[in-house]
Structure 1
C-alpha cells in the first residue's frame, strides 16, 4: 500500500476530529479514541477545518481540485500504513460497540439511527476523498483507506455501514469528477459536522439491470435538461438532500447528474428489501424534473462514469469482506462451544473443513480487492482487478453466508443469531450498483 506524501498524516486528522466529538461519551468510545490520538500525537497533529452547510450555487470557471495519485513504491505490501491502522482501529471499535449491538433494532426500523449517522459524520468519513483545499483531509487518493474503512464498518453491520457511507459516495463523486463550481457549491457542506444526507442513485428496478443501459433519461431543452425515470436501492432517499443520479443523456450514453431533493418532480417511494434493511432503501422517482445544464457532473465523460461503476463495485466487495469476517468469527466460536454426541462439533472433519474454506475464500477476496484499490489510487487501470473482486465477492460472499447458516443448523434460521441477517445482506453484493463509492 502506498504511503501518503503528507508527513503529518491523514490518520491523525481523522482521529483529532473523533477525539473532539462530544458523541464519543454517548457511544462509549472516549477511551479508545483518546488512546489512539495519544499514540498518534508523537507524529504531529493536523486539524481539519469545518464549514457550515450552504447549497448556494457558485458560478465561475477555474480548474477543479483533484486528489493526486499515490506513487508506486515498487513493493507489494499488504500491511496498512500507520495512518490506515489508526483510522481502521477506531472504526472497528465503533462497529463493534455501536453498529453490532444496534443492528437488530436498526433492521426492524428499516433505518439507521440519526445519532449513529451523526457520529460517522463527526469521524470525517465523508472527508477521506475530499482535497484539503476544499475542507477535506486528503492530498492523495485514498481508495485503499476507503476499502479498509468499509470493511471495518461492515464487520459491525452491513446495512448500517451502507447508510453511513452513502453521503461519502456523493462527496467522493463530486471530488473526483465535479467541476470547480460544483465542488465549491456542494463540498463545503460535507466538511462540517452536519453532513447532508445524500445518495448515489444508479440501479433501476428492472430484470437483468445493466448500469450501462439506462432507462432513466435526460433530454435537453432551453433551460437545461428534463429528467424522467425511476431509481431503486437509493439509500435513505426519504431524507436525502442531494442525489447523484445516473441517466442516459439524450441517447448518447450514461452520465451522472446532480439533483437536489427540493427540485419539483422529485419523489421518494418505499423499496422494501430482503437485506440491507438498516440502509433504508427507497426508490427515487423523477417525473419531468428540470435541472440546469451545469447539473451534469463535471464534463459528463464516459470514462468518469465507468470509473464510478468500478469504484462502487469495489466498495461492495469491501463490504462483503467485513460481513464475511463477521460470519467467520461467529461460526468459529459457535462450532467450538456447540456440542453433539459428547464433543464440540468443531471436532467433526466436515465442520472444520467448512470453516477453513470460509477463511480461505475470504483471503482470496481480500487480496484481489486490495489490489484493485491500490491500482485505483495510483491511477492505473484496475478494470480487471475490480471485475475479479466483484465476481469473487458476489460468488463467495453468498457462499459464506450460506455456509454460516448451515454451520449453525436450526439456529442459523432464526433471528436469535445474526447469521441469517448477514446471509441476507451478503446476497446484495452481486446485485447492487451504486449507493456506495470509495
Structure 2
C-alpha cells in the first residue's frame, strides 16, 4: 500500500525557543517514533527506550521549573509538543501527559526539600511516573476511594488496589491517593511511592481495544511502607491535589486528541488525493471534500479551545471550566474525525494496512479517561449554574 506523510501544522508559538523546540520534536518524531508506531502497537510493545530518550531530551519535564530540571515552558507550548507526539503515536503522547500529571503533586504541593530530593530524577533522570487515583469501585466518584494509609510512627502503611493505571507495573514512581481519615473528600492524602517498594505489585495489563503498547493495569498495595517524608501536602489535602492535577491533565488529553485527529485528517487527505475513481481523484467529489472540510474545522476549533485554556493557565487565571470544555470538545471531535477518516478510505480504512483504523480505536478511550465526557459536562454545568445541591437537585 502507498504511504502518505503528514503535513506539518502551521503553529503560532510565543518565542524562538519554542519554535526551535517544536522543530526538535518533529525531527525526533520522524526519526524515532512514527516509523515503527503501527508495528509496535500491533505487537503491544511498550516504548520504554522512547520514554528514556524523551526524558534525556528534556521533554518529560517541559512545564516544570528549570531549578529542578524542568523546561520552564508555558502550557501553551507544552501542549503543542504533546499534540505532535500523539499524532505520531498516542502511546507516547498520552504517556508523556500521564507522566507530567504524575509529577504535578510534588511540583506544586511538595516541600522545597521534597522537590529537591525527587523532582530532578523525575523530570530528566529517565524515570517514568504513574497517577493512582481510580479504583475498581471508585472511578468518576473519586472521593469514595477506599485504598487506606495508616500511620505507623514516622511511616504510613498503604493497603488497597488502584485500577486503570497507565504505566501500571512499569512505572518508577506512583503518585498515590489514599484514605487517611473517615469517608469523604477531606479524608484523602497524597503520597509519592517508589515503584520498587516492597508490597507493591501490578496485575496483568488490561486487554484493550486500542493503545496496546501502553500498559494499563491494576496496582496493588499490600502493606506498602512509605515514609512520612513522602507525604505530599497536608493530611487530608489529597483530593484538592488530585483535582488540581486533573484540571491540567485534561488539557493534556485534549491536545492528544487533536493530535490523533490531525493524523487521521492528514491520512484521509493524502489518500483521497491519490485515489482515483471514475477517472479522477476522489478528492474532487464534493461530498468527500465537504467531509474533509468539516474534519479540518473541528480540529482547528479544538486546537483553539485547548490553547485558550492553556493561556489562561499560563496567565495565572482560573481555567477549570475551559479545561473541561477542551477535554470534552477535543475528544468528541477526535472520535468524529477518525470515524470519518475510516469512511473516506472505504474498505482500506477498515484494514491494518492504513493507520486510520488504529486512530479510531485510540480516539475512543480519550472520551473516557481523566474524567468521562459526561463528567466534563457536569463540571461545565456547575461553573454555569452552581452545584446541584445548591438547588435541591439530587447528585448522581
TM-score normalised per structure 1: 0.75
- Equivalent of 2:203 in 245, 269, 287: 269
Aligned equivalent of 2:213: 278
SS at match of 2:168: coil
| 1:400 matched residue in structure 2 | 337
- Aligned position for 1:102: 36
Displacement of 1:363 in angstroms is 1.2
Task: Spell out the pairing of 1:16-31 with structure 2 (5 A cutoff).
Answer: none
- Output one character per residue of 1:369-412: Cα deviation in whole Å (capped at 9) or x when no partner: 01111111222100110111011022111111111111111111
Instruction: Give the 3 Å change call, closer, same or farther, for CA 405–337 of structure 1 in structure 2.
Output: same
The answer to whether the 8 Å contact 1:142/1:377 transfers is: yes
The alpha-carbon distance between structure 1 residues 175 and 318, as it changes in their structure 2 partners (threshold 3 A), is: same
Match of 1:295 in 2: 230
- Quote how far apart the aligned CAs of 1:222 are: 4.2
Shift of 1:167: 3.6
Alpha-carbon distance in 1 for matches of 2:189, 2:77: 27
Is 2:102 the partner of 1:170?
Answer: yes
Q: Which residue is 1:117 aligned to?
A: 51
Q: Which moved more, 1:276-285 or 1:214-223?
A: 214-223
Q: Which residue of 2 aligns with 1:7?
A: none
Distance of 1:363 and 1:206 partners within structure 2: 37
Quote the Cα distance in structure 2 between the aligned partners of 1:144 and 1:256.
27
SS in 2 for 1:428: helix
Contact 2:130 2:171 in 1 (8 A): yes
Q: Measure how far apart 1:252 and its partner are.
A: 4.0
Of 132, 135, 148, which aligns to 1:204? Answer: 135
**Contact between 1:129 and 1:172, CA under 8 Å: does it hold in 2?**
no
2:289 aligned partner? 352
Map of 1:129 onto structure 2: 63
Give the drift of 1:302: 4.4
What is the SS of the residue equivalent to 1:408? helix
Residue 278 of structure 1 aligns to a residue in which SS?
coil
CA distance 1:414–1:332, change in 2 (3 Å): same
Residues 249 and 420 (structure 1 numbering): CA distance in 2 closer, same or farther, change over 3 Å?
farther
Structure 1 residues 89 and 362 mapped into 2: Cα distance closer, same or farther (>3 Å)? same
Superposition map of 1:242-261 within 5 A: 242-250=173-181, 251-253=183-185, 254-261=188-195
Are positions 1:429 and 2:366 aligned together? yes
- Secondary structure of the corresponding residue to residue 226 of structure 1: strand
- Residue 323 of structure 1 and its aligned partner are, at CA, apart by 1.0
> Aligned-pair distance for 1:96?
2.6
CA pair 207-173 structure 1, distance change in 2 beyond 3 A: closer
Contact 1:159 1:425 in 2 (8 A): no
Q: Is the 8 A contact 1:95 1:154 kept in 2?
A: no
Corresponding residue number in structure 2 for 1:230: 161
CA distance in 2, matches of 1:330, 1:212: 42
**TM-score if structure 2 supplies the norm length?**
0.82
* Whole-angstrom CA distance in 1 between matches of 2:178 and 2:228: 14
Cα distance in 2, alignment partners of residues 420 and 168 from structure 1: 28
Question: Match for residue 392 of structure 2?
Answer: none
1:323 aligns with 2:254: no
SS across alignment from 1:137: coil
**1:79 Cα deviation (Å)?**
4.3
Q: Which region of structure 1 is more displaced relative to structure 2, 313-322 or 118-127?
A: 118-127
Note the alpha carbon deviations across 1:203-236, whole angstroms, 9 max, x for none.
Answer: 3345863334434333445454333332233233
Match of 1:6 in 2: none
Distance 1:379 1:196 in 2: 29
Question: What is the alpha-carbon root mean square deviation over aligned residues?
Answer: 2.4
Is the CA contact (8 Å cut-off) linking 1:314 and 1:386 kept in structure 2? Answer: yes
Q: Is the CA contact (8 Å cut-off) linking 2:133 and 2:162 kept in structure 1?
A: yes
